[in-house]
Structure 1
Amino acid sequence: MSTQYAQDFKFLRFITGTNPVKVLHTQVLCSATEGCDALAVIKFRYCGGAKIETCLTTWEGDRVYYRLTIAEADGMVMVRLPAYLDEFYSLSFVDLPQYEFDVEISTDGLHYETDTDLL
């Protein structure tokens, strides 16, 4: 399976707390040949354990909430999200400790890797 990197995908490595949430806007695509009901996988990597709540919001206003618990330092949690062709999502993280962490988004046949600076 070939790995394809999205040129317009910016990694958001950010620090947040209980104050207003930093929001990540990104685009999740699925291949027309693979079908548009592919699942995107978001992996959270960061130092330290915490309870995180993620809010996935489409531009149309629909919301899906995921509540996760990461127990170990440098742990990884995989969240499966529905991916639709050319649909934009807003991903919000709340109540995180002040740690940096990375986000990867991948779909069947596609791979989006993050890589930017602190907001």
Structure 2
Amino acid sequence: AAAAAGFEARVVGQAAPRAPHIATIAFPGLDRQALVMAADLEGLSLASGTACASGSATPAPALVAMGLPEAVASGAVRFSLGRTTTADDVSEAVARLGRVLRRLTT
């Protein structure tokens, strides 16, 4: 959805086995901590980086070990869905994320 709106986005580990309800998406050129804070103001809860490095000021070692350039890993945030998350919830989150990305890139 971010890419369709003109924002560069990369799903990290897309082809790797992973939990189906968790996705790490990198927004190259954006600061993940600024993204998390701006998302919070829109009512979105994101986490910066991987679970093993959440809140760290440096890119997650796991992302760097996967071969992600630091510029990509620096913009990586984690999205999680819950058991009760609906398709409408996801659509609303995508709309809010679009507003966040526009705010951070203009």
Shorter-chain TM-score category? 0.3 to 0.5
Higher relative contact order (Cα pairs below 8 Å, separated by 6+ residues): 1
- TM-score of the aligned structures, taking structure 1 as reference length: 0.34
Q: Which has the higher helix share?
A: 2
Greater C-alpha Rg = 1
- TM-score of the aligned structures, taking structure 2 as reference length: 0.37
